[in-house]
Amino acid sequence: MYGLLVFATLASAQQPQQPRSSRRDVADVYASLCANCHGPRLEGGMGPSLVDDTWKSGADDERIARSIREGQLTAGMPAFSGALSSQDIRALVIYIREQGAKKRNEGTAFARPVADKVVNSERHAFKLETVAEGLETPWSVAFLPDGRMLVTEKAGRLRVVEKGRLLPKPIEGTPEVWSRNQGGLLDVAVHPDYARNGWIYLSYSAPGANGSAMTVLVRGKLREGRFVEQQTLFRARPEHYRTGGVHFGSRIVFDGKGHVFFSIGERGHKEDAQELSRPNGKVHRIHEDGSIPKDNPFAGREGAIASIWSYGNRNPQGLARHPVTGELWEAEHGPRGGDELNRIEPGHNYGWPVITYGMNYDGTPMTDRTAQEGMEQPVLHWTPSIAVSAIDFYTGSRFPQWKNDLLVGALAQQELRRLRIEDGKVVHQEVLFKDIGRVRDVVSGPDGAIYIAFNEPDRIARLVPASPVEPASGKTRDTKP
Ligand code: HEC
C-alpha cells in the first residue's frame, strides 16, 4: 500500500498532469478550438482541410490524434496536450471521421434501386423486387423447406408469405411480447432439420417485474396456423431482467452440430457486458433443446451463467456462420462510432464498454481506450457508425461472384454492404444500395436471391440478378474497409 502511494506520487511529479475530460460535446470543442484555422465545416482555412482524405502526417487514428496532441508548431498547428485530455482528443478523431464520411457521401451517387430498375454493381447487375408489403416493422425473415417465408413483426406477430402472398392472418399462439422501443418479437429461425422435426425458434423481449424486460428464446411447431408445443429454451432469472427499452440483441444461429447460438444486447446497462453473472451483453450457446453444453467456456465456473459463449458485446443484431470455415461472425452496434464486426471465439471478451472506437451519443468522450490486453479487437469497425444490423453470408448460386461474401445491413445509414473476406480479414467493401429504407434483416435465400426486411417504409424485398445496363445508371462507389 505504502509503496504504491510513493509510486503514484513520483509518477505524477514526473509527468505533467493529464487534463480531465471536458465532458463537452465534441462539436463545441471543435468550434471553439479548431474552427478558426480548419474552418467551421472542417474544409480548411489557414490550416488544411480535415475532410479531403489527404493526410500529411498519416491517415490512421493514432497519427491524427498525435497531430492534435503534439501539434506542428513551426507550421502553425498548436499542441493541445495541455488543454485536452486523451479522451477529448479521441472524440475529436471520431468527429473528424464523421465529417469526412459525410463529405464523401455527399459527393457519391449511391444506387437507390426502384422497381424494375437495373443496378450495375461491381460484380453483378441486380434488380430489387418487392416480395411483401402491408407489414408493420418486419424484423426477421426465415424460410421453410416448402418455400414459405416466415416474417416476424416487432409488435408481436408471426406472419407467413405463401406463393408470393402475405397471408392475412398471423400465426396464433406465439408468445406475448414486451413491445416497446427496441423490444418486441425479434428473430425467427428454422431448424436445419425442420423437415424431420418441425422446430421453429423465436427470440423476443419478455416483460418482467416493475417495467423490466429481457430477451427470451423459445421453440415451437406450426400446426394449422398455430404455434404449438412451445418450449422455453432460455429465460433469464427474474433479478436479471433490466429496465429500459434498448439493446435486446438478438439473432439465432444453428451450427448444424446440435447447438444454437443467440445474442442478447447489454440492455443499456453497459457495465453488465463484463459481468459473467449476467446474461446481457453476451453471445450464448445452448443445445437445441435448451440444455447447456458441458464444454461451454464458463460451464463450470462459480457464479457464471453457463450458456455464455462470449462477452463484452454491446448490442449484437448480426450473427452468421461462415459457410466454409464454420466460424461464428457477429455484428454489433457501437455507441456513436465503433460499430463492430467480430469473429466470435468461445470465452473471449469483446471489450465493451472498457474499449470501444466510439463516443457517447451526445458527442462527449467515452474513453480513449480502443485496445487492451485480454480483449479482442474487432475484425473491422465502422466509425462513423452505419448502425449495423443483420449479417449473412451469401451461399446461393445466382450471384456467383458474390459467393461467400458477407452481406451487411445498416439501419441509420440505410445500406446493404457486401464485404469480401479473405483469411478472416475484410479486404473490400461495396455499398450495394443506400437510402431506400432501414435494412433490418438480410438473408441469403434458398432460391439464391437475397431477401431484405426493410423498415420505413416497411416491406420485404429481394435482390435478383439482371442483365447489366449501358450506360451505368446506378453507379456505386467503393468504400474502404
Ligand atoms: C492556429 C491555427 C490552428 C488551430 C487552432 C488548429 N490547427 Fe490543426 N493545423 C493547423 C495547421 C497550419 C496545420 C498543418 C500543419 C503542417 O503542415 O504540418 C494543422 C494540422 C492539423 C492536423 C494534421 C493534418 C494532416 O494532414 O496530417 C490535424 C489532424 C489537425 N490540425 C487538427 C486540429 C484540431 C482537431 C484542432 C483543434 C483542437 C486544430 N487542428 C487546431 C492549424 C491549426
Q: Are strands 252-254 and 259-264 parallel, antiparallel or unpaired?
A: antiparallel
pLDDT digits (tens, 9 = 90+) for 435-460: 999 999 999 999 999 999 999 999 99
73 C-alpha to ligand 1 centroid (Å): 10
Tell me the catalytic residues: 247
By C-alpha distance, which of 374, 358, 413, 364 is closest to 105? 413
Burial 398-426 (b: 16+ CB within 10 A, else e): bbeebeebbbbbbbebbbbbbbbbeeeeb
pLDDT at residue 152 is higher than 80: yes
Query: CA–CA separation, 158 vs 94, rounded Å?
Result: 40
**Spatial contact of 348 and 376, defined as CB atoms under 8 Å apart:** yes
- From edge to edge, which strands make up the β-sheet containing 149-153? 138-143, 149-153, 157-162, 165-166
Angle of the 61-70 helix axis to the 86-106 helix axis, nearest 10: 120
The single residue listed with the C-alpha cell 414459405 is 148
Q: Which residues contact 136 (CB under 8 A, 6 or more apart)?
A: 153, 154, 155, 157, 458
Measured by CA distance, the residue closest to atom 40 of ligand 1 is 34
DSSP-derived 3-state class of residue 6 = helix
Mean pLDDT (the chain) is 94
36, 49, 60, 67: which to mutate for ligand 1, most atoms within 8 A of CB? 67
pLDDT digits (tens, 9 = 90+) for 286-312: 999 999 999 999 999 999 999 999 999
77, 80, 95, 98: which to mutate for ligand 1, most atoms within 8 A of CB? 77
Out of 113-127, 159-173, 183-197, 246-260, which region has the weakest mean confidence (pLDDT)? 113-127
**Whether the CB of 83 sits within 6 Å of ligand 1:** no
What's the 3-state SS for 197-245?
HCCEEEEEEEECHHHCEEEEEEEEEEECCEEEEEEEEECCCHHHCECCC
Angle of the 86-106 helix axis to the 26-33 helix axis, nearest 10: 90
Q: Which residues contact 223 (CB under 8 A, 6 or more apart)?
A: none
Q: What is the DSSP letter of 57?
A: T
Q: How far from 29 is each of 24, 41, 84, 92, CA to CA, in Å?
A: 7, 13, 9, 8
**Whether the CB of 77 sits within 6 Å of ligand 1:** yes
Query: One-letter amino acid identity for 111?
Result: A
Q: Which residues contact 73 (CB under 8 A, 6 or more apart)?
A: 79
Domain spanning 2-106: CATH 3.30.750.24: no
22 C-alpha to ligand 1 centroid (Å): 20
Extract the C-alpha cell encoding 413.
Answer: 445509414
Measured by CA distance, the residue closest to atom 2 of ligand 1 is 37
pLDDT digits (tens, 9 = 90+) for 327-375: 999 999 999 999 999 999 999 999 999 999 999 999 999 999 999 999 9
pLDDT given at position 279: 98
User: Quick one: pLDDT band at residue 16, thresholds 50, 70, 90?
Assistant: low
Query: CA–CA separation, 112 vs 454, rounded Å?
Result: 14
**Spatial contact of 413 and 430, defined as CB atoms under 8 Å apart:** no
**Spatial contact of 125 and 116, defined as CB atoms under 8 Å apart:** no
**Whether the CB of 48 sits within 6 Å of ligand 1:** yes
- The average pLDDT across 223-249 equals 97
Dihedral-angle region of residue 354 (phi above 0 means left; psi in -120 to 50 means alpha; beta otherwise): alpha
pLDDT given at position 7: 40
pLDDT given at position 471: 64
**Whether the CB of 37 sits within 6 Å of ligand 1:** yes
CATH superfamily name and code, 119-479: TolB, C-terminal domain (2.120.10.30)
User: Quick one: pLDDT band at residue 23, thresholds 50, 70, 90?
Assistant: confident
Neighbours of 57 (CB within 10 A): 12
**Whether the CB of 38 sits within 6 Å of ligand 1:** yes
**Whether the CB of 89 sits within 6 Å of ligand 1:** no
Out of 34-38, 175-179, 395-399, 476-480, which region has the weakest mean confidence (pLDDT)? 476-480
By C-alpha distance, which of 447, 384, 452 is closest to 418? 452
Query: CA–CA separation, 267 vs 352, rounded Å?
Result: 13
**Whether the CB of 35 sits within 6 Å of ligand 1:** no
**Spatial contact of 411 and 387, defined as CB atoms under 8 Å apart:** yes
The domain ranges of the chain are 2-106, 119-479
79 C-alpha to ligand 1 centroid (Å): 9
Query: CA–CA separation, 439 vs 408, rounded Å?
Result: 9
The single residue listed with the C-alpha cell 417465408 is 149
Query: CA–CA separation, 323 vs 348, rounded Å?
Result: 22
pLDDT given at position 107: 87
Q: What is the DSSP letter of 97?
A: H
Q: How far apart are the first and last CA of the chain?
A: 47
Query: CA–CA separation, 318 vs 342, rounded Å?
Result: 10
Start-end of H helices in 276-430: none
Element at 157 (helix H, strand E)? strand 157-162
93 C-alpha to ligand 1 centroid (Å): 12
Query: CA–CA separation, 239 vs 151, rounded Å?
Result: 31
Residues β-bridged to residue 315: 333
Phi, psi at residue 182, to the nearest 5°? -85, -5
39 C-alpha to ligand 1 centroid (Å): 11
Supply the pTM of this predicted model: 0.93
**Whether the CB of 386 sits within 6 Å of ligand 1:** no
Q: Where are the beta strands (DSSP E) in 240-369?
A: 252-254, 259-264, 282-287, 308-311, 315-321, 328-333, 339-344
Query: CA–CA separation, 417 vs 405, rounded Å?
Result: 10
